[in-house]
Structure 1
């Protein structure tokens, strides 16, 4: 039953991160053709944005070593539409590869804490911007759209609770570089609803409205949908999600699965919020990918929609 809640947004954009964030921590190397099929199926399910891969050095994330091959295959299959698929570019070398392939949407990945910046980027919070600035400048000069991720926005496994003003300072610096949208990541899944509202309010106090923000939740403590509700109440209309709840962060072992796309779609549908995603199709895609990976999907909605014979 659809029961709208007054005061919430009429429509939401789901930013699908399954092919990149969802698969990056898988130990067994997934064939490029399987990854390409995953992207195609997600697009066919109506997801408006599908982040395809990352041009990170293979030594750091071996699963994504085929990024150029994947994007070339998708270009052959999807034509110019493949150029609209976002990719992560950690530095200028990654950007070079995206430019060579004619891609139009890239993202950079920052940290709100020094420890994670050191482990993930071999940088401090301050020095990471020395790497991002030329990357963002060149991307914008190429006419590309740039998204900025900030990890560890609610808690860090080494540093504990992360001060809200620290997150706002990092996010503001990314936006000042020219990033169009800021995705605030609950990398280890410790966010709670009040914390979400307080962080969005702090950005608003700094002159950054909810239309510039996206929220990226992990369901480590089962709070992801509660946190989405808090974000909706605060006016945020873009949410990252991963088909089937796949994913985590290879540099933070406590970062368990992302918010499942299916769980988010079911939740939004019940509130009468438009999202444009075919739940049956995306759930079937997640069951297919779970079979490819050899284990059940962690998504509650995927499990609920799985026929008894499967």
Structure 2
């Protein structure tokens, strides 16, 4: 009997319970509404940005192709966490099945990993555009952009395929309560009753590679970009280059800063509350900020949006 109970506890047949953000809030209903509004804003903003990029000929450039890929990733990974969290709050349920937890973890790791490499590809694109403008159309043709984007998705999926099985095959014999609002690797591993130190070291090394490679590419690209901008004689050219690059760097700092804290800082720096706040920053707030960063600070995008909004009045005026 004891052996049967021990085995059932270790095989992880029971559901997990996501305690989430709402258990920490004094006004869970208000927080739930606020998160749902942020979710709708993120979906709407990113969907509009994708629509603008694909419908406006002036935005058919490598830079905006990558921006549309970024928006697609943002829409997908905010959809991995928020609907489940909001529905659980509305329905009064907190459980998630073990397979459901694994699927959520895999999708999240894949999308976040893909975004790491996409931001590096975007930095390379800016480097080519600013440092090699004459060769830019050849170096960054449509085929190259498709290959880079496909590579980002592939490398992100490698991250998901590596870390998800490692995390989910651990025996979970402690509390089934996950102190998080989704199945993130560090939060789930805390529930394991076996020694996870070796695996944590391997995951740390994996994350160092996943983060260090894009960060090196981004840092190198922007070092050359800054040198090129410094040598520019045109004040207008400098301003345009700074505007374009500062938008991308804002996203990079937000996203990588939060990811480095989550996956690379020692466990002594972590508390469930801090982890949830940081995850909230880059999994929920970043997707709603990205379209604002790339649209409000970009004349091409705002111009395309105004043109799209004026289509119907202009059409009616032509009919009259």
Which TM-score band applies after superposition, normalised by the shorter structure?
Answer: under 0.3
More relative contact order in 1 or in 2 (CA 8 Å, sep 6+)? 2
Between Structure 1 and Structure 2, the one with more strand by share is 1
Q: TM-score, normalised by structure 2?
A: 0.25
Between Structure 1 and Structure 2, the one with more helix by share is 2
